Amino acid sequence: MKTLQFAVLTALLVTSCKQKPKAEEKKAEPKETVNYLEEPKEAFDERMAWWRDARFGMFIHWGAYAVPAGRYEGKEVNGIGEWIMHNVKIPIDIYEGYAKEFNPTAFNAEEWVTRMKNAGMKYMVITSKHHDGFCLWDSGVTDYDIIDFSPYDKDILKALSDACKAQGVKFGLYHSIMDWHHPDAQADTYAGGEPSENNEERFADYLESYLKPQLKELVGNYDPAILWFDGEWEKEFTHEQGQELYQYVRELKPGIIINNRVDKGRKGMQGMNKDDSDYAGDFGTPEQEILDGISDLDWESCMTMNDTWGYKTDDRNWKSSAELVRNLVDAAAKGGNYLLNIGPDASGNIPEASMKRLEDIGEWMKVNGEAVYGTESPKSGYKEGDNIRFTRKKGTPFYYAVTFEKPGKTFQVEKLKPEEGSEVVLLGYEQPLEWNYSEESGLTISVPEEALRATGNTLAWTFKIKMVTD
Ligand code: FHN
């Protein structure tokens, strides 16, 4: 999050010899240790470039919590589905029963990645381990994983990372620092027990002997482009440990991108860091909200399609496809990314309602995606009124005005002043549109009915304006 002088700590191995040996002794190579917490802006920008241009990703919350699916002892449990273990204080041995039942025989990694790609999403972030501690890969440091503990015994993360590579989209992992299952993490207190007096010491040991070895497995086996930490708010976890964790993961894979929940900087659900001190992490993480303005720091809003991250049988409060497109465009206009969640069920099926929304968004992105990908927030302003957002294609004279209200016979904006000769089109309709500009009423574009018919969509309409001068 900060650009500071790059401190290259170079430890030169000094070789000394009493007399020149007959054969020239091979000089030891100087070993450089890079301090990733202090990275020059150019290196940071280069590493973040693909992620900034991608703008749109798929979040996947999937694990043992999909088995109870929001119900316990015959009753619906309030709250987000993946918190059921905590919310009704399910004893660990009972909850482990869900992991033993987790057998997603309908899971098809290639199909999931195809649906994600067809929706216009450029990267995936899936829960390798959520707060419940159950691991979706074959971990060498625990048997509480999909291979050793469940009847499924296939490596879900391997299947997805291979499918992402095969289809040319980026693979990312969510990993929870908080762990309600591990005895040295929060196992004592998740169900309301009293913390033991040496909790900090035990937690530090959990970090060193469990969390870090798991991260090494994950980075080594699945080559994620993103590590999305969560559960950083636990009091045993310190800022120093967060900085150290960031450095550790970057040393595992220098080009990886890591969110700000690797450290203690996040200001609640608003997601950006509470101040500009030396918190680690490459981007802010507003949750269930879009940042309320632009920021000179990178950020990504993560949101659900209904009200839960993990699958819940009874949660049918689905956002409309129009609202999801609006969120995506709003985030892009403000210079942010949008990470939209799906919560597959225990059989490995994506809910019908989620698939319908992914298809709708994909149809819209096929025609309008250029107004999202590789864009930036225009210096002339990102919005006009409640229903118009602007983006600019980086390094080009192309501006996009996206309206969430179906245009009438004319569409008017004040903020864009095309030079004479500028071309205006409605994405999805071939012919350039008539327009005029006046100081008093701004840019007025004529919108023939056939143009609206040609776009065939009802989610949002995009006007592309080529500004002859910047
Ligand atoms: O507690 C988690 C929650 O289950 C979910 O994973 C969200 C997604 O960002 N993060 C935490 C709540 O902030």
Distance 230 CA to ligand 1 centre (A): 7
Give the CA radius of gyration of the chain. 25
Distance 308 CA to ligand 1 centre (A): 10
Mind listing the pLDDT tens digit for each residue in 281-302?
999 999 999 999 999 999 999 9
Ligand 1 atom nearest residue 80's Cα? 4
Instruction: Reply yes or no on whether the pLDDT at 224 is more than 70.
Output: yes
Contact between 286 and 299 under an 8 Å Cβ cutoff? The reply is: yes
Q: What is the C-alpha to C-alpha distance for residues 36 and 274, in angstroms, rounded to an integer?
A: 21
**Amino acid identity at 168:** G
Ligand 1 touching residue 80 (CB < 6 A): yes
Q: What are phi and psi of 87, to 5 degrees?
A: -65, -30
Query: Could you tell me how far CA 395 lies from the centroid of its own chain?
Result: 25
Distance 16 CA to ligand 1 centre (A): 55
Q: Give the pLDDT of residue 191.
A: 66
- N-terminal to C-terminal alpha carbon distance within the chain: 29
Distance 80 CA to ligand 1 centre (A): 9
Question: In this predicted structure, which of 267-276, 333-342, 388-397 has the lowest mean pLDDT?
Answer: 267-276
293 burial type by CB count under 10 A (0-12 exposed, 13-18 middle, 19+ buried): exposed
Ligand 1 touching residue 230 (CB < 6 A): yes
Q: Give the pLDDT of residue 194.
A: 74
Q: Which CATH architecture has domain 36-373?
A: Alpha-Beta Barrel (3.20)
Distance 405 CA to ligand 1 centre (A): 32
Mind listing the pLDDT tens digit for each residue in 86-113?
999 999 999 999 999 999 999 999 999 9
419 CB neighbour count, 10 Å cutoff: 12
Ligand 1 atom nearest residue 174's Cα? 6
Confidence of residue 17 (pLDDT cuts 50, 70, 90): very low
Distance 116 CA to ligand 1 centre (A): 21
142 CB neighbour count, 10 Å cutoff: 18
More confident residue, 18 or 389: 389
Q: Give the pLDDT of residue 63.
A: 98
Distance 28 CA to ligand 1 centre (A): 47
Same fold, 36-373 and 379-466: no
Ligand 1 touching residue 62 (CB < 6 A): no
Instruction: Reply yes or no on whether the pLDDT at 84 is more than 90.
Output: yes
**Amino acid identity at 309:** W
**Amino acid identity at 2:** K
**Amino acid identity at 160:** L
Q: Give the pLDDT of residue 25.
A: 59
Nearest CA to ligand 1 atom 1: 231
Q: What is the C-alpha to C-alpha distance for residues 122 and 96, in angstroms, rounded to an integer?
A: 34
Average pLDDT over residues 413-438: 93
**Amino acid identity at 238:** T
Ligand 1 touching residue 282 (CB < 6 A): no
SS3 category, 438? strand
Q: Which two tokens stand for residue 180?
A: 């309600």
The β-bridge partners of 404 are none
Instruction: Reply yes or no on whether the pLDDT at 305 is more than 80.
Output: yes
Residue of 59, 80, 176 to test ligand 1 pocket, by largest number of atoms within 8 Å of CB: 80
Q: Give the pLDDT of residue 196.
A: 74
What does 24-40 look like in DSSP terms, one character per residue?
Answer: PPPPPPPEEEE-TTSB-
Q: Which DSSP letter does residue 75 get?
A: E
Ligand 1 touching residue 82 (CB < 6 A): yes
Ligand 1 atom nearest residue 341's Cα? 8
Highest mean pLDDT among 141-150, 179-188, 418-427: 141-150
Interacting residues of 114 by C-beta distance below 8 A, sequence separation 6+? 167
**In the chain, pLDDT over 70 holds for what percent of residues?**
93
The β-bridge partners of 303 are 340
Confidence of residue 193 (pLDDT cuts 50, 70, 90): confident
Ligand 1 touching residue 287 (CB < 6 A): yes
Ligand 1 touching residue 302 (CB < 6 A): yes
Distance 229 CA to ligand 1 centre (A): 10
Mind listing the pLDDT tens digit for each residue in 28-67?
666 678 999 999 999 999 999 999 999 999 999 999 999 9
Ligand 1 atom nearest residue 178's Cα? 1
Average pLDDT over residues 328-336: 98
The domain 379-466 is placed in CATH, from the list 2.60.40.1180, 3.40.50.800, 2.40.50.140, 1.20.1440.230, at: 2.60.40.1180
Ligand 1 atom nearest residue 285's Cα? 9
Domain residue ranges of the chain, discontinuous segments joined by +: 36-373, 379-466
Q: What is the C-alpha to C-alpha distance for residues 78 and 34, in angstroms, rounded to an integer?
A: 46
Q: Give the pLDDT of residue 187.
A: 73
What does 371-421 look like in DSSP terms, one character per residue?
Answer: GTTTEE--TT-SEETTTEEEEEETTSSEEEEEESS---SEEEESS--PPTT
Instruction: Reply yes or no on whether the pLDDT at 359 is more than 90.
Output: yes
Residue of 227, 230, 305 to test ligand 1 pocket, by largest number of atoms within 8 Å of CB: 230
Instruction: Reply yes or no on whether the pLDDT at 442 is more than 50.
Output: yes
Residue of 77, 229, 267, 287 to test ligand 1 pocket, by largest number of atoms within 8 Å of CB: 287
Interacting residues of 400 by C-beta distance below 8 A, sequence separation 6+? 370, 371, 375, 390, 391, 392, 393, 462, 463, 464, 465
393 burial type by CB count under 10 A (0-12 exposed, 13-18 middle, 19+ buried): middle
Nearest CA to ligand 1 atom 5: 309
Instruction: Reply yes or no on whether the pLDDT at 217 is more than 70.
Output: yes
**Closest alpha carbon to 286 in 319, 323, 261:** 261
Residue of 61, 309, 338 to test ligand 1 pocket, by largest number of atoms within 8 Å of CB: 309
Ligand 1 touching residue 125 (CB < 6 A): no
